[in-house]
Amino acid sequence: MGGPLSTRDPRLPPDTGHRRSVTPGRGGVRHAPAPVTGPVRPASGGRQARDTTSEDDAMEARINLFDNEVAAKFAKRFIGAGLVIEQSTLPKQTQELVKIRASQINGCGFCTDMHTKEATAAGEAAVRLNLIAVWREATVFTEPERAALALAEEGTRLADTHHGVSDETWAKVREHFDDEQVAALISLVALINAANRINVIVRSPAGSYEPGMFAAMAK
């Protein structure tokens, strides 16, 4: 699900946003419960990132957050927030489903790649992972999971509708989760959206993540 990166189609005028696929490179930015930063590489020679999407630039993140003091301090606190959610009674499978769905909506390749692989390593069925994006038409998700996915979608797409999270979705969430789980679910939607934005902004490459590769940094 991490998918290929993309670069601008040379047949189109500059800054159209239309892109063609290329093979992703190494690197990435991580989010809770592990750091929001990953093994990304700075632009070679210390040069400033250019406003371009050439194949060479598309294979590396715009900035190495590991080398940034502010980002490192932020990541440490971000990890702590993620651990609170991970250690809650909200089912781990549900947590990964929510992370993947929000990452798909936000177009975050690195987060989608990471959480798909983490879910697979934890024993999640391939058929369920393949159907997350179309969960409404799928028969493989439980009613509590469907409620969580609905909240994840509406909580992520706040700008797309005037009502935010609908009363219908909220009622389903309250039906299936207790107060602690609801609090964890809301916090998770907020946290994964923050992580998605960090990765999308710095253009973290997708495809090279390996399950557990940031586990030591979460301690």
Question: In this model, does residue 215 exceed pLDDT 90?
Answer: no
Backbone phi and psi for residue 8, each to the nearest 5 degrees, phi listed first: -65, 135
Q: Would 2 be classed as within a structural domain?
A: no
Q: Would 212 be classed as within a structural domain?
A: yes
CA-to-CA distance for 45 and 219, rounded, in angstroms?
33
Name the range with the highest mean pLDDT among 44-48, 60-64, 134-138, 205-209: 134-138
Q: What is the pLDDT of residue 41?
A: 35
Question: In this model, does residue 131 exceed pLDDT 90?
Answer: yes
Question: In this model, does residue 185 exceed pLDDT 60?
Answer: yes
Q: How confident is the prediction for the chain on average, in pLDDT?
A: 79
Residue 111: name the closest of 50, 185, 191 by CA.
Answer: 191
pLDDT in tens, 74-115: 988 888 899 999 999 999 999 999 999 999 999 999 999 999
pLDDT above 70 covers what percent of the chain? 72
Which of the pair, 60 or 120, is modelled with greater confidence? 120
Question: In this model, does residue 135 exceed pLDDT 50?
Answer: yes
Question: In this model, does residue 173 exceed pLDDT 60?
Answer: yes
Which of the pair, 125 or 5, is modelled with greater confidence? 125
Q: Would 12 be classed as within a structural domain?
A: no
pLDDT band at 8 (very low <50, low <70, confident <90, very high): very low
Q: Give the DSSP letter of residue 158.
A: G
Q: Would 8 be classed as within a structural domain?
A: no
206 close to 3: Cβ distance less than 8 angstroms: yes
pLDDT in tens, 145-170: 999 999 999 999 998 877 899 999 99
CA-to-CA distance for 99 and 112, rounded, in angstroms?
8
Number of domains in the chain: 1
Q: What is the pLDDT of residue 178?
A: 98
Beta strands in the chain (DSSP E): 5-8, 19-22
Residue 15: name the closest of 55, 49, 48, 52 by CA.
Answer: 52
Encoded amino acid at 5, one letter:
L
CATH of the domain at 192: 1.20.1290.10
Q: Would 198 be classed as within a structural domain?
A: yes
pLDDT band at 141 (very low <50, low <70, confident <90, very high): very high
pLDDT in tens, 39-74: 333 333 333 444 444 454 557 889 888 788 998 889
Q: Would 156 be classed as within a structural domain?
A: yes
Which domain, by its residues, includes 57? 26-218
Q: Would 95 be classed as within a structural domain?
A: yes
Q: Would 138 be classed as within a structural domain?
A: yes
Q: What is the pLDDT of residue 136?
A: 97
Question: In this model, does residue 219 exceed pLDDT 70?
Answer: no
